[in-house]
A and B are shown apart, each in its own frame.
Chain A
Amino acid sequence: MLLTSWAQPQPDIWQHLSRYLLPRLIGHTALMMVVVGIGVAVIGVGLAWLSACCDYPLRRILDPLLVLPLAFPTYVLAFIYLGMLDFAGPIQTAWRGWTGSSPALLEAISRPGGVLFILVLAFYPYVYLLARASFLGGGLAAFEASRSLGQGPVRTFFRVSLPMARPAVVAGLALALMEALADFGAVSIYGFDTFTTAIYRTWLGMFNLTAAVQLASILMLFVLLLLGIERFSRSARGIQSERRPTGHRIRLTGAKGWLATFLQLAVLLVGVVLPLIQLLVWAWPQMSGLLHARLVNVVFNTMVLGLSGALAVVLGGILLLAATHHTSRRQQFLGEVAALGYAIPGTVLAVAIMLAFLQIDQMAGTALAGGMAALVMAYLIRFLRVAWGPLDSVAGRIRPQYVEVARSLGVPRWYRLWRVNLPLLWPGLVTAFLLALVEIAKEMPATLMLRPFGWETLAVRIYELTAEGQWEMAAVPALILVLLGAIPVAVLIRSGRVRAI
C-alpha cells in the first residue's frame, strides 16, 4: 500500500509540501529523535543501573513503580500536563498571583517543544525494563569482577556494564523512538508538527490520501534507519550470560543512598504521582459516573480486546520467530521489517487494514470487516514489534545444542518444541503478552475505526469525550485506563523480579 501510492504521483501537493512543510517536518522529527533518544537513554539506563546494581533506602518499593508511566497513554499524559502547567493552568495562575510574573520553565515546557518531555516520560520505561533485566542477568557478576580488579565504579559502568547491556538498551531505544515517530495524540495536543500531523493535514485538510500515504512512506525511511542502527548494534552482541546473577550490589549509604532514592522518587513523582493527582482532581466531581453500568461494559470490552489482541500478537511473534530463527541474516532482517507496523501512524494503518479486509470480503463473500477479526489483525500488525523484542532476546538464549541434544535423543519435533523451546521462551512470552496487553488497551485510532458495531472501549470513550477539547470530561475513563494498565505492568515487573532473583 505504501509503495503503490507512488504509482500516482501528486506533483502539485509535493511541490507545496517540500517548500513549506518538509524542511520543518524533517527538522522536528530529527530533533524529536535526538531529544527523546537521549532523554529515555539517560533516564532509563541511569535508573536501571541504580536499581540493578546498587542498594539504597526504599529500593525494593521504588523499583517496580518506575515502570508505571507505561500505563499512561501519551495523549492522556499530554493533556494532563498541558492542563496542569500551561499559562491558564492552576500552577502558573497561582504563581502569577504570588510573584506577579510567569515561571519561565513552565512556560517553556508548555510550548510545542514541551511534548518531547512528555514523550521521554512516557517511553523511558522501555529502556529501563530492558536495561534492568540485562544488568541483572549477568552484568552484576562482570561488574563485581571488574571492581575486584581495581576498577572504579564509574569506569566499570562505562567499560563493562554499559557495553554488555548495549543490545538491550538499543532495543528499548528503538521501541521508544518508533512509538514517538508514530505518536499523533500527544504531538497534536501540543501542536508540535511531525510527520504524523502532516499526514493528517494532507489527508483531512487537502483531501489527498495518496499524498498522505506517500508522506507515511517517508516516515518509514526514518524507521528503517532506526532498525538498521539496532541491527548494527546487535551484531556486536556476544556476551550472553546464562548464569543467575551472583554478584553483590554496591551498598550506597548515607547521603549517597538517599540521593539515589531521591532521584527515583523525583522521576516517579513527575511520571506517575503528579499526573495521577491531576486526573483524580478532574475526575472527582464525576465520580458518581464511575459505577455506571455502561462503563462496566466498556471496561469489560477493553479487557476482552486487550487479551485477545495480546494473544494474537504473541502467537504472531512466535510464528515470526519460528520463521526467522537460525536462518540467514537477510531473512532475520525481513522478519523485522514485517514488524514495521509499530511506527505507522495508527489511523493510516487502520485505513489500510480496513481496505484490505473489505477487498477480501468482496472477493470471498465473507464479512470479516467490522468484526473482531479485523481488529485483532490490526493489533497484530501494529504491535508485533512489541512482542518481537522480548521474544528475540530470549530466543538468543536457546542454544542450538539444546535442540540438537533433544533431536539426538529421538524426541519428536512437536514434543521438542513443547518441552525444550517453550520453557526457554516462556519469560519472553510473558513479557511480550503483558506489553502488548498494555499497548492494545491504550490504542485509539485502529480501535475506533475497526471495532465491531457498538463496541466501546475506554480509549473510545476518551476519544468521544475529548473530540471537542474538553479534557476534564475524559478524566474518569482515563483514570480507569491508567489503573487497568497498571495491572499488567505490575505483573510484568513482578515476573521480572522472580526471574532475576
Chain B
Amino acid sequence: MRILFSALLLALLTACGSDTGEPEGSQTAGSEATESRSSGAAEPAAAEPARLVVYTSRQPHLIEPLFARYTRTTGIDIDYINDSEAALIERLDAEGDQTVADLFMTVDAGNLWHAAERGLLRPIESESLANAVPEALRDEQGRWYGLSVRARTVVFHPERVDAAELSTYEALAEDAWSGRLCLRTSQKVYNQSLVAMLIEHHGEARTEEIVRGWVDNLATEPFSSDTRLIEAVAAGQCDVGIVNSYYLGRKLAEDPGYPVELFWANQDTTGTHVNVSGAGVTRHAPRPEAARNLLEWLASPEAQAEFALNNLEFPVDPDIEVRGPVREWGEFRADDTPLQIAGERQAQAVKLMDRAGYR
C-alpha cells in the first residue's frame, strides 16, 4: 500500500514538473502557431496582438471551427474558457480591470443584457455590425450584438395534431390542449425570455393566466431538456411542445422521417419568439480593437452562415441564405420586440412563473 502511495506521489511530482514548463493556454483553436502565441504572451505591447481571449457559454464544438478559420486568415490565436453564463459573469466582474477576456459570448440575450447592466461590456459603434445585425437583436448602446437567431416555437406530432389546430403560444393555454402539452422547465433561460416577452405584449395579469393555462394543460412534469421534450412528443407522451427549432433540426438531421413537425407560432400576431446567441466586447478588454475586429468578422457574410448553421440556427443577417433542413421550415416572421426587454423583464418572468406554479 505504502509503495503504491509513494508511486502516486512520484507520478504527481513528475506531472507537475512537466506541467509548469507548458505555456499558458494549451487549448487554442488553431492547431498551428504555438510559437507565435508564446511570443505574443511575452510581449503584450506588440502592435499586432497574436492572441485573443473569449469567455463563452456557447458549446466549444460549435465555435472552434470558426475560431480556427479566423486564426488561419489573420494569424491571431483565440483562447477560450467555456463555462455557464452566471459563472463567467461573476468572473468578469470579480476580475475587473485585471481581466484577460476580450470578448464575452453567450447563447441568450438575457445574460448579455445582465452583463451589460453590470457594466461588464463596452459600447462598440460599428457600421458593419449595425448593417449586419437587425436593431431588435442588439443592444441599443452597442454593448452586445446577436450573432445567430434561435427561434423558440411549437412542435407537434403530425398524427395526433392537425397543423390547422395550432396558432399561438397563448392558445396552448386553452382547454383543447388539456393533458397534451409538454414544456421544458422554467429553470431554463429560454423559457424565462419567452415569458418575459409575453409580459411585454400582454402585461403581467394576462401572462399569468396564460402560464397557468399551460401548467394546467401539462401532460407530465416539465422536462430538463428540449431534446427529451421532442422525444416525448415523438413517443406519444404528449402532442405539442415549445422548443428551440435547432433541437428538432438535429433530430431531423439524424432521421429525416422523425415523427415531429415544426409550426411557426404567432405568425398572425406578434411573430415567433426569437433569442440570440451573441457577444460583446468586455469593458476592460486588453485588446479591444482586435476584439471588435473578431466581432465584426463573426457578423460578416463570411462567418455568418457557418456560425448559425453548424448548429442549425438562423443567421442574424437576413440577407444570408439558409440551407439544409432549416430551409425546409420556410421563412417565418420573428417577433421584432428589442431583445433587451427579455433581460429587463427576466426576473419579473421568473417570479411570475413561480406564482403560476410553473416549475
A residues contacting B by CB (< 8 A) are 16, 20-21, 82, 86-88, 92-93, 111-112, 188-191, 193, 197, 200-201, 203-209, 297, 300, 303-304, 307-308, 311, 347, 350-351, 354-355, 358, 361-362, 369-370, 426, 430, 433, 445, 448-449, 452-456, 460, 463-465, 467-470, 491, 495, 498
Closest CB in chain A relative to B61 CB, distance in Å: 7
Name which residue of chain A comes closest to B19, CB basis. Answer: A304
A209:B98 contact, CB within 8 angstroms: no
Q: Is B227's CB within 8 Å of the partner chain A?
A: yes
Q: Is B355's CB within 8 Å of the partner chain A?
A: yes
In the complex, which residues 80-106 of chain B have their Cβ closer than 8 Å to any Cβ of chain A?
81-87, 90-91, 94-95, 98, 100
19 contacts between A and B (CB under 8 A): A16-B354, A87-B237, A200-B86, A201-B187, A201-B350, A304-B12, A304-B15, A307-B15, A347-B86, A355-B94, A430-B1, A433-B5, A445-B87, A453-B26, A453-B81, A453-B100, A454-B24, A460-B82, A491-B4
Q: Bits for B1-31, please: 1 = Cβ < 8 Å to A, else 0.
A: 1101100110110011001000011111000
A347:B87 contact, CB within 8 angstroms: yes
B347:A205 contact, CB within 8 angstroms: yes
Closest CB in chain B relative to A85 CB, distance in Å: 12
Dominant SS among interface residues on chain A: helix
Of B206-214, B215-223, B314-322, the one touching chain A: B215-223
Question: Contacts A201-B187, A430-B1, A498-B1 hold; do A454 and B90 have CB atoms under 8 A apart?
Answer: no
Q: Give chain A residues whose Cβ lies under 8 Å from the Cβ of B26.
A: 297, 453-455
Q: Give chain A residues whose Cβ lies under 8 Å from the Cβ of B16.
A: 304, 308
In the complex, A269 Cα to B93 Cα: how many Å?
Answer: 47
Q: Give chain B residues whose Cβ lies under 8 Å from the Cβ of A207.
A: 114, 346-347
Name which residue of chain A comes closest to B118, CB basis. Answer: A207
Q: Give chain B residues whose Cβ lies under 8 Å from the Cβ of A358.
A: 94-95, 98
B224:A191 contact, CB within 8 angstroms: yes
A354:B90 contact, CB within 8 angstroms: yes
Name which residue of chain B comes closest to A359, CB basis. Answer: B94
Closest CB in chain B relative to A78 CB, distance in Å: 9
Q: Is B139's CB within 8 Å of the partner chain A?
A: no
Contact with A88, one of B228, B350, B354 (Cβ below 8 angstroms): B228
In the complex, A361 Cα to B91 Cα: how many Å?
Answer: 14
B232:A307 contact, CB within 8 angstroms: no
Name which residue of chain A comes closest to B222, CB basis. Answer: A191
Q: Is B79's CB within 8 Å of the partner chain A?
A: yes
In the complex, A205 Cα to B81 Cα: how many Å?
Answer: 22
A464:B61 contact, CB within 8 angstroms: yes
Q: Give chain A residues whose Cβ lies under 8 Å from the Cβ of B225.
A: 468-469
In the complex, A203 Cα to B85 Cα: how many Å?
Answer: 11
In the complex, A190 Cα to B228 Cα: how many Å?
Answer: 11
Closest CB in chain B relative to A478 CB, distance in Å: 16
Name which residue of chain B comes closest to A449, CB basis. Answer: B87
Q: Give chain B residues whose Cβ lies under 8 Å from the Cβ of A445.
A: 87
Closest CB in chain A relative to B246 CB, distance in Å: 9
In the complex, which residues 222-243 of chain B have their Cβ closer than 8 Å to any Cβ of chain A?
222-228, 231-232, 234-235, 237
In the complex, A149 Cα to B342 Cα: how many Å?
Answer: 75
Question: Contacts A207-B347, A453-B79 hold; do A20 and B354 have CB atoms under 8 A apart?
Answer: yes
Name which residue of chain B comes closest to A187, CB basis. Answer: B224
Q: How many B residues have CB within 8 A of the partner chain?
A: 62
Question: Contacts A430-B1, A453-B27 hold; do A467 and B59 have CB atoms under 8 A apart?
Answer: yes
In the complex, A43 Cα to B176 Cα: how many Å?
Answer: 46
Q: Is B351's CB within 8 Å of the partner chain A?
A: yes
Q: Give chain B residues whose Cβ lies under 8 Å from the Cβ of A361.
A: 98
Best-surrounded residue of B2, B16, B224 (most CB of chain A within 10 A): B224
B residues contacting A by CB (< 8 A) are 1-2, 4-5, 8-9, 11-12, 15-16, 19, 24-28, 57, 59-61, 79, 81-87, 90-91, 94-95, 98, 100, 114, 185, 187, 189, 192, 220-228, 231-232, 234-235, 237, 247, 250, 346-347, 350-351, 354-355, 359
Q: Give chain B residues whose Cβ lies under 8 Å from the Cβ of A369.
A: 95
Name which residue of chain A comes closest to B117, CB basis. Answer: A207
A454:B95 contact, CB within 8 angstroms: no
Q: Give chain A residues whose Cβ lies under 8 Å from the Cβ of B235.
A: 87-88, 92-93
Q: Give chain A residues whose Cβ lies under 8 Å from the Cβ of B91.
A: 354, 449
Q: Give chain B residues whose Cβ lies under 8 Å from the Cβ of A455.
A: 26-27
B8:A307 contact, CB within 8 angstroms: yes
In the complex, A468 Cα to B248 Cα: how many Å?
Answer: 13
Q: Give chain A residues whose Cβ lies under 8 Å from the Cβ of B227.
A: 468-470
Closest CB in chain A relative to B102 CB, distance in Å: 13
Question: Contacts A207-B347, A453-B81, A469-B228 hold; do A351 and B90 have CB atoms under 8 A apart?
Answer: yes
CB-based closest 6 A-B pairs = A469-B225, A454-B27, A88-B231, A88-B235, A205-B350, A87-B237
Q: Give chain A residues whose Cβ lies under 8 Å from the Cβ of B86.
A: 200, 203-204, 347
A112:B87 contact, CB within 8 angstroms: no
Name which residue of chain A comes closest to B350, CB basis. Answer: A205
B90:A209 contact, CB within 8 angstroms: yes
Closest CB in chain B relative to A354 CB, distance in Å: 6
Name which residue of chain A comes closest to B191, CB basis. Answer: A205
Contact with B82, one of A87, A304, A370, A464 (Cβ below 8 angstroms): A464
In the complex, A6 Cα to B89 Cα: how many Å?
Answer: 22
Closest CB in chain B relative to A244 CB, distance in Å: 17
A86:B185 contact, CB within 8 angstroms: no
In the complex, A358 Cα to B224 Cα: how many Å?
Answer: 34
Name which residue of chain A comes closest to B343, CB basis. Answer: A207
Closest CB in chain A relative to B170 CB, distance in Å: 22
B12:A308 contact, CB within 8 angstroms: yes
Best-surrounded residue of A21, A205, A206, A351 (most CB of chain B within 10 A): A205
In the complex, A453 Cα to B15 Cα: how many Å?
Answer: 17
Question: Contacts A464-B82, A469-B224 hold; do A197 and B187 have CB atoms under 8 A apart?
Answer: yes
In the complex, A362 Cα to B351 Cα: how many Å?
Answer: 37
A205:B83 contact, CB within 8 angstroms: no
Closest CB in chain A relative to B13 CB, distance in Å: 9
In the complex, A191 Cα to B221 Cα: how many Å?
Answer: 8
Closest CB in chain A relative to B229 CB, distance in Å: 9
Q: Give chain B residues whose Cβ lies under 8 Å from the Cβ of A465.
A: 59, 61
Q: Give chain A residues whose Cβ lies under 8 Å from the Cβ of B24.
A: 452-454
In the complex, A203 Cα to B84 Cα: how many Å?
Answer: 12
| 8 further A-B pairs in the complex, CB-CB below 8 A; given A201-B350, A205-B347, A456-B27 | A88-B228, A200-B86, A304-B12, A307-B11, A307-B15, A355-B90, A454-B25, A469-B226
A354:B94 contact, CB within 8 angstroms: yes
Question: Contacts A88-B237, A191-B224, A354-B91 hold; do A311 and B9 have CB atoms under 8 A apart?
Answer: yes
In the complex, A25 Cα to B221 Cα: how many Å?
Answer: 17
In the complex, A112 Cα to B185 Cα: how many Å?
Answer: 11
In the complex, A68 Cα to B238 Cα: how many Å?
Answer: 37
Closest CB in chain A relative to B63 CB, distance in Å: 11
B28:A454 contact, CB within 8 angstroms: yes
Q: Give chain A residues whose Cβ lies under 8 Å from the Cβ of B114.
A: 207
In the complex, A448 Cα to B82 Cα: how many Å?
Answer: 8
Q: Give chain A residues whose Cβ lies under 8 Å from the Cβ of B347.
A: 205-208
Name which residue of chain A comes closest to B12, CB basis. Answer: A307
Closest CB in chain B relative to A75 CB, distance in Å: 11
